[in-house]
Structure formats: structure tokens, C-alpha cells
């Protein structure tokens, strides 16, 4: 489910995580590694990538996926902001 | 061949694979960063078998295993083969209530559990069985921290030698699988059928010793145990052992393939879809064009467009196959039958008929239920009757709908049984419905699989309940009884669930209503409501 709002990447991402029924809401923190903590399975991860790309009209590169920043809400928000410039 | 050997033909086939390949690498363990030859695996598993014997475990006893993919898992599987002990793998992601059900139902005498699941181990102690905590070598903080494989290496091997006391008619594994009932059923699998099916399958697909597979399917399922451990073993090939498919594996998929020289890939459609979506460079496509020889795919329906896109991008041919835990491979596409079509041709040793609702056989290209007679059929469900699993004249009902075309290719078109396949994993809607129905606010519930762009299907619940019912509370209830992958992705509400004339919920109609967007989502309790309630 994509949050129905235009917002800054960080707020949008927080809303995206909050909108996912399966995610343990108590563990959603901006600096939590959402992969290490098992918050997203591979289907949710790919949905996140696809929803972000659609929302912010950007396209991640192979290199983006490899950045450790990509795996936290704060880090991902920074990557999105850089790509939007 | 002496009479004793005749009852051990398949068992001796495993033994001879060890004998022929002692110095060749079988496992590249990317988690523990080590390689294991066939000889090393045989030695370690014989020593682990000695440990099982010392624990008092004997042929026919059952043990449960709760571990992530790791070399220790494979060592235990082979140790069971040497001792005749029957492994009952339990998916690490299940809720502890679900784990308890499987372990109790299998009457396991001992549980081998990873130190990673300390809390689950604590809760499972109430079952009163022996518990062996395993610290995988890849997770031990230092060699002295209790690395289980080190202890195994120092143990005396089983004196009976490799596979010394098992016969083809013995059970090699019991796999619990979600059916249409509310509880999983234990499928008992014997050496005779699984090794026979594996040898036949490896022959048809021309899998050979040069083939190196990427083993990222969960070892707790047949996808990991059979497709990506036993079949590569039977083919005398090798495997690159990885954690179960995850975002991390998806991101590094082609890097790993290149680094370890992987040339054989076993996919499920959802993984193919994820790989296509996440791949943003030409590296994978170029590597695949030059080096990947076999790509096999099954466990869930494969959309035609996904097949075409994957084949075009990676310059490979996808060999789609079809089978169930109870039957192994029923059909497959393979190099010997020309152009791949549907789920391929019915394999040797197996016969397929298509039946209408009255049980009459249908003609070519006519759709009906797929029923099977096979020399590879399971021994039966463990301590559970098989009522309804067979036709009156003994054909196994797959619960899938399909047809055979005029050239004998099998096509699977629909599902007769009430089942959700999410990312290749079978989920019983009835199991989820029973949990939701236990919530006091619910008067009726139906759970269905709805199309999902990557997972194939997602779990959707439709409930009829009181005005105060809220989504968060219902999800909390689900989370306290179900594994995460079974929790509904969405919950909708309906004042009246559509029913057939017999009063049964009409899920076909329900899916139509959901696709049309005719049902509202169950609301989450607003913050204002909470405040009012609290005051």
C-alpha cells in the first residue's frame, strides 16, 4: 500500500512502512536496518523500491542497492533526495 | 546383486556417489566461507551420526530441525541417512504454536535448533523432548564458542559405515505441507521414491557433475532438501549454499553467481520476478549468456510474460516443471522434448489423467482435475488418514485443474483445492480463517489469495464483524498465532459474505468483488477514537 500523500522522502517512507500490515510497527525507527531486523521480506522490499521509484520519479542504480545507507529509512531518504536534485 | 542389495538399490546409489567423488567439492559454503568435498561431508555426517546414536536415537526415531540454511543442516540430513533416523524439518519462520504442532504431531524425540532461536527453544521445552542447541560455525563468535561442527569433527564416526542400515522402503524425511485442512500434514517420503525420481529427473534435464547450483531455497522445504541438495548430489554436481532467498540475496545474486561459477539456477516465479525488477546492470545478463546452462522453474504458476521477459533478458531457456510434495515431479520440460510448452511432458514412471466432476476421463485439450498414478508417490501422511486424497480406483488427486494437449504436454490452468501460493510457499486459507474466527469480534471470515505482482498471490482476508472491530487489533491477534508470511496483507470488511446455495462462502465471487474494489478496507482505529476510549 502506498501512502496517499506528497511529502518529503523521510516522512513518505515512514508512512509507507506504517502502512504495511505485516511490519512490526514498534521496530520502525529511521536508523533501523530494515533488512537485518527482518522487517521486510523480499516481496515487501521489491514493492518498496518500485513504490519509491514511482512516487519520486527516480530510478535506482545497481550501486544504490549496495550502499548500506539504502537499508535504513534515513539513509534511503538521503539517497532519494540526492537523486531528485 | 544379492537379495539384500535389491532392497537397497537407491540407498546404494547415494553411497556410490560418495565413493566416486571423494575429492570433489560438493558444497561451497558462502556463510561459513569454506568448501566441503563429498569425502568431507561423508566423514562429518558419519561423525554426526555417531552423535545421534550416542543421544539414544535409533532407526525410525524422528528428530525435528529448526535452523536457517547452513552446512550443519546438511550434515544432520546425511547423518540421519546413516542412522535411519527420520528428520522432520520445521520452517524457522513459523509461529511457536505452529512449531509445537509439527513437533508433537511427528512425535519427535529430539530437536536440533539453532542458537539464533533461543526464545523459541525456551518455549518448546514444554514439549519434553531432548533439545540440542547448535551454534553454526558461521555464527560462532570464536572457535571456542561452541561451534557444533568442531564438536562433530572430534566425535567418533558411526561404526555401521555410510548408509549401512537403511533400505529403499525406509522413510528418508517427513515434510509438513499446508493442504486444504486447517493443519499441515506430514508427508512421509521414502528413499525408493525420492532417489528414483531424482535420478530420472537429473537424467531428463541432463544435469551433470559440471553443474553448480545456487542453493538459496529453504532447506526446511523440499525445494531446499530435494531440488537443491539431493538432486545436485545425485547429479554429482555441486551447490553454493546461501541463506534463504532474501533482499540481501536478491541484491548480490549475480555477484555470487560470478564469484562461484554458478551455472545452474533453480527458480520459483516470484524470485524470477524479483531478479528482473532489481537487476539494473548488464552484468547478470552477460554472465548468464556465457555461463548459465540450466534454469529450472516450478512450485507456482509461471505467467507467460514473466517467462518471456526472463528468457530474453538472460538469454536462457526456462524449463518449467510441475509436482507436489506427495508426488515429486509429475511433468517437466527438458531438452529431449523439443520446444518447451506448459509444464512439460509427464515423466517416465508417472501417468496422468484428467477427470471431470463426475470422475469421467476427459479428452485431449479438455480441462478437468489432474490425477496421478506414479511409482514415486509418497508412503502416506504421517498418522493422518488419506481420505479424499485418492480417487476410488487409486489415482492421487492433485487438486489442480489442467489439460493434456494433443502432443501430451500438460498445462495447469487453475486450482480446485482451496490454497494460496505466496512466493512458492503453500498456505492454507482454512488455517488463517480458523485463527481469525477465534477473535471475539468476528462473525464470519473468508481468506483468499489475490494476484500480487511479485509474490504471485497475497493473503487477503474479508471479515464480517461488529462495528467496533478494528484492523490493528485483528492484525495483532493474527500475529500472536500465525507465522509472518501467513498474516493477511490486507483485510476488507463485508456486511454479508457471498454464499452458494448450500451456504458455503463463494470465494470465486469474493475474489471478483475484491478485484472490482467493491469491498471497503477494515478501518484502523483512529487516534481520536483511542483518546475517547481512554478517557
Q: List the domain boundaries for chain A.
A: 32-85
Please give the class, per CATH, of domain B420-534: alpha beta
More confident: A83 or A5: A83
Q: Do domains B352-374+385-415 and B420-534 have the same CATH topology?
A: no
* B532 phi/psi in degrees, rounded to 5: -60, -45
Pick B250's closest partner by Cβ from A42, A50, A59: A42
Pairing of strands B62-66, B86-89: parallel
Distance from CA of A21 to the nearest CA of B (A): 6
Q: Compute mean pLDDT per 10 residues along chain B, 535 residues long, and list them.
A: 77 97 97 93 98 96 97 97 98 93 96 94 94 81 68 93 95 87 87 97 97 97 96 98 93 96 96 93 96 95 93 97 96 92 96 95 94 96 87 94 95 89 88 91 92 91 83 89 91 88 85 93 64 42
pLDDT number for residue B535 = 34
Neighbours of B119 (CB within 10 A): 9
Which residues, including other chains, have CB under 8 Å from residue B384's CB and lie 6 or more apart?
B185, B186
C-alpha neighbours within 13 Å on the C-beta side of residue B178 = 22
Q: How far apart are CA B374 and CA B189, in angstroms?
A: 14
Q: How far apart are CA B417 and CA B535, in angstroms?
A: 49
If you count them, how many residues does chain B have? 535
Would the CB atoms of B490 and A41 count as touching at under 8 Å?
A: no
Nearest alpha-carbon partner for B325 in B399, B270, B387, B264: B399
Partner A contacted by B250 (CB < 8 A): yes
pLDDT number for residue B533 = 45
Q: How far apart are CA B263 and CA B290, in angstroms?
A: 9
The DSSP bridge partners found for residue B274 are none
In chain B, where the domains are located: 352-374+385-415, 420-534
Partner A contacted by B258 (CB < 8 A): no
Pairing of strands B328-332, B345-346: antiparallel
> What would the grid cell of residue B35 be?
568448501
CATH superfamily membership of B352-374+385-415:
Luciferase; Domain 3 (2.30.38.10)
Contacts of A47 in chain B (CB under 8 A): 453-454
Contacts of B475 in chain A (CB under 8 A): 21
DSSP codes, A34-77? TTTTT-S-HHHHHHHHHHHHHHHT----HHHHHSGGGGSHHHHH
pLDDT number for residue B141 = 59
Could you give the C-alpha distances from B129 to B111, B112, B116, B132, B158, in angstroms and in order? Answer: 7, 10, 19, 10, 23
Helices (H), B488-526: 507-515
Tracing cell 548488464 back to the chain, one arrives at B282
Pick A46's closest partner by Cβ from B274, B475, B484: B274
pLDDT number for residue B466 = 67
> What would the grid cell of residue B242 be?
546461501
Pairing of strands B410-415, B34-37: unpaired
pLDDT surpassing 60 at residue A52: yes
DSSP codes, B342-361? TT-EEPTTEEEEEE-TTSPB
Pick B484's closest partner by Cβ from A22, A47, A49: A22
Comparing alpha-carbon positions, the chain A residue that sits nearest to B250 is A42
Partner A contacted by B274 (CB < 8 A): yes
Neighbours of B19 (CB within 10 A): 12
pLDDT number for residue B180 = 61
Judge whether B72 and B148 are in contact, CB under 8 Å.
yes
pLDDT number for residue B527 = 46
Contacts of B450 in chain A (CB under 8 A): none
The DSSP bridge partners found for residue B373 are B351
pLDDT number for residue A5 = 54
> What would the grid cell of residue B130 be?
531432548
Contacts of A61 in chain B (CB under 8 A): 280-281
Amino acid at each position: 500500500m502506498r501512502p496517499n500523500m506528497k511529502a518529503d522522502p523521510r516522512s513518505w517512507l515512514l508512512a509507507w512502512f506504517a502502512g504495511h500490515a505485516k511490519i512490526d510497527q514498534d521496530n520502525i525507527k529511521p536508523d533501523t536496518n530494515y533488512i537485518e531486523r527482518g522487517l521486510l521480506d523480499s516481496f515487501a522490499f521489491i514493492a518498496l523500491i518500485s513504490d519509491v521509484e514511482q512516487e519520486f520519479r527516480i530510478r535506482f542504480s545497481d550501486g544504490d542497492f549496495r550502499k548500506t545507507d539504502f537499508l535504513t529509512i534515513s539513509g534511503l531518504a538521503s539517497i532519494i533526495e540526492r537523486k531528485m536534485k | 546383486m544379492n537379495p539384500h542389495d535389491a532392497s537397497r538399490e537407491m540407498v546404494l546409489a547415494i553411497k556410490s556417489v560418495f565413493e566416486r567423488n571423494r575429492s570433489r567439492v560438493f558444497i561451497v559454503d558462502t556463510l561459513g566461507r569454506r568448501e566441503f568435498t563429498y569425502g568431507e561431508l561423508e566423514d562429518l555426517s558419519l561423525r554426526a551420526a555417531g552423535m545421534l546414536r550416542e543421544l539414544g536415537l535409533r532407526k525410525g526415531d524422528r528428530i525435528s530441525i529448526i535452523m536457517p540454511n547452513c552446512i550443519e543442516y546438511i550434515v544432520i540430513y546425511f547423518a540421519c541417512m546413516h542412522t535411519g533416523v527420520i528428520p522432520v524439518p520445521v520452517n524457522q519462520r513459523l509461529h511457536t504454536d505452529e512449531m509445537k504442532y509439527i513437533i508433537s504431531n511427528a512425535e519427535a524425540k529430539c530437536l536440533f535448533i539453532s542458537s539464533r532461536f533461543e526464545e523459541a527453544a525456551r518455549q518448546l521445552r514444554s514439549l519434553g523432548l531432548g533439545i540440542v542447541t547448535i551454534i553454526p560455525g558461521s555464527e560462532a563468535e570464536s572457535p571456542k564458542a561452541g561451534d557444533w561442527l568442531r564438536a562433530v569433527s572430534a566425535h567418533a564416526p558411526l561404526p555401521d559405515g555410510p548408509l549401512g542400515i537403511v533400505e529403499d522402503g525406509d522413510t528418508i524425511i517427513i515434510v509438513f505441507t499446508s493442504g486444504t485442512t486447517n493443519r499441515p500434514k506430514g508427508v512421509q517420503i521414502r528413499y525408493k521414491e525420492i532417489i528414483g525420481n531424482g535420478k530420472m529427473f537429473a537424467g531428463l534435464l541432463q544435469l551433470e557433475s559440471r553443474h553448480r547450483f545456487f542453493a538459496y531455497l529453504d532447506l526446511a522445504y523440499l525445494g531446499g532438501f530435494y531440488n537443491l541438495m539431493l538432486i545436485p548430489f545425485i547429479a554429482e554436481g555441486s551447490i553454493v549454499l546461501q541463506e534463504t532467498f532474501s533482499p540481501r540475496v536478491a541484491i548480490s545474486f549475480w555477484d555470487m553467481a560470478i564469484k562461484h561459477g554458478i551455472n545452474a539456477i533453480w527458480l520459483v516465479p516470484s524470485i524470477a520476478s524479483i531478479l528482473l525488477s532489481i537487476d539494473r546492470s548488464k552484468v547478470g545478463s552477460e554472465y548468464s549468456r556465457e555461463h548459465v546452462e540450466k534454469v529450472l522453474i516450478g512450485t507456482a504458476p509461471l505467467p507467460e510474460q514473466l517467462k518471456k521477459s526472463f528468457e530474453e533478458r538472460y538469454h536462457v531457456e526456462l524449463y518449467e516443471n510441475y509436482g507436489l510434495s506427495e508426488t515429486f515431479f509429475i511433468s517437466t520440460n527438458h531438452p529431449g522434448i523439443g520446444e518447451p510448452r506448459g509444464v512439460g511432458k509427464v515423466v517416465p514412471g508417472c501417468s496422468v489423467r484428467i477427470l471431470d466432476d463426475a470422475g469421467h476421463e476427459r479428452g485431449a485439450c479438455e480441462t478437468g482435475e489432474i490425477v496421478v498414478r506414479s511409482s514415486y508417490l509418497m508412503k502416506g501422511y504421517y498418522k493422518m488418514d488419506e481420505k479424499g486424497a485418492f480417487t476410488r480406483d487409486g489415482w492421487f488427486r492433485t487438486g489442480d485443474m489442467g489439460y493434456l494437449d494433443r502432443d501430451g504436454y500438460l498445462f495447469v490452468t487453475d486450482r480446485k483445492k482451496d490454497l494460496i501460493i505466496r512466493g512458492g510457499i503453500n498456505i492454507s486459507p482454512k488455517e488463517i480463517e480458523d485463527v481469525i474466527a477465534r477473535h471475539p469480534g468476528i462473525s464470519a471470515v473468508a481468506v483468499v489469495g489475490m494476484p500480487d505482482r511479485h509474490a504471485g498471490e497475497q493473503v487477503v482476508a474479508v471479515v464480517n464483524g461488529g462495528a467496533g472491530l478494528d484492523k490493528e487489533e485483528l492484525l495483532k491477534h493474527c500475529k500472536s498465532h500465525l507465522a509472518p508470511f501467513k498474516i493477511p496483507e490486507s483485510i476488507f470488511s463485508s456486511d454479508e459474505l457471498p454464499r452458494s446455495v448450500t451456504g458455503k462462502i463463494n470465494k470465486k465471487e469474493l475474489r471478483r468483488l475484491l478485484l472490482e474494489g467493491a469491498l471497503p478496507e477494515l478501518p484502523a482505529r483512529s487516534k481520536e477514537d483511542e483518546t475517547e476510549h481512554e478517557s
